[in-house]
Amino acid sequence: MDNKPFLDYIKNFIKLTDEEETILLSKTVHRKYLKNQYIVQQGDICKSVNFIISGSTKAFYMDLEGQEHIVMFSIEDWWTSDLGSFITQTPADFNLQCIENTELIQFTYENLEYLYKAIPKLERLFRKIVERAFVASQKRIIRNFSLTAKERYQIFKRTYPKIEQRVPQYMIASYLGITKEFLSKIKSQLIHDQ
């Protein structure tokens, strides 16, 4: 199995010895999911944080009217989890579902706690990863409040060009917090604008 993308990713944050890399990998599971398979379902306890080697996932919340609200897309070299459920080991608010066939590296709660003890440097790694995720989340809140749907869509396209091409429009609408019909309208406006 190909762990190289993961080890390369980690090198951006911390340096590990060969021995540490071996310990780290020994406590992870490499796993493949098919398109549409669930990694976690709302209400279950989220058992892992997952680093994506290939493919893509969406994290979404299903509201009382049965509507999906996408919180996050994840593709190669990024993470997916319901972190709230994972860190407290309580039922998940979100579903994690694969949009494409997806290959990922999984850290279970127990293994990750073990690893924090065995390789304390990993605390630093995950601190930095979560810091970045938090900052992105805060910026998204601001964008949702201060920009129109059209502006948010344009930023989305610029920021995540890879995702735009691989994900159906209606999921992008959900991520932007608008209906698919309104996204369709925005797109035709953007074409006619010039």
Partner DNA sequence: AAATGATGTTAATCTAGATTAATATCTATT
Partner DNA sequence: AATAGATATTAATCTAGATTAACATCATTT
Q: Which residues bind a second copy (CB under 8 A)?
A: 61, 63, 67, 69, 71-72, 83-84, 87, 93, 116, 120, 123-124, 126-128, 130-135, 137-142, 144-146, 177
CB of 123 to a second copy, least distance (A): 4
> Which residue is associated with the tokens 């091409």?
165
Task: For residue 6, give both structure tokens.
Answer: 């993961």
CB of 4 to a second copy, least distance (A): 26
CB of 8 to a second copy, least distance (A): 21
Q: Which of DNA, a second copy, none does residue 130 bind (CB under 5 to 8 Å by kind)?
A: a second copy
Q: Which of DNA, a second copy, none does residue 179 bind (CB under 5 to 8 Å by kind)?
A: DNA
| Rounded-to-integer distance, Cα 10 and Cα 98, Å | 23
How many residues bind DNA (CB under 7 A)? The answer is 17
Q: Which of DNA, a second copy, none does residue 69 bind (CB under 5 to 8 Å by kind)?
A: a second copy
Contact 72, 30 (CB under 8 A): no
Q: Mark out the alpha helices in 16-118 (DSSP H runs).
A: 18-26, 83-88, 109-118
- List the beta strands (DSSP E) in the chain: 29-33, 38-40, 48-54, 56-62, 68-75, 79-80, 95-98, 102-108
Which positions touch DNA (CB under 7 A)?
148-150, 168-170, 177-185, 187-188
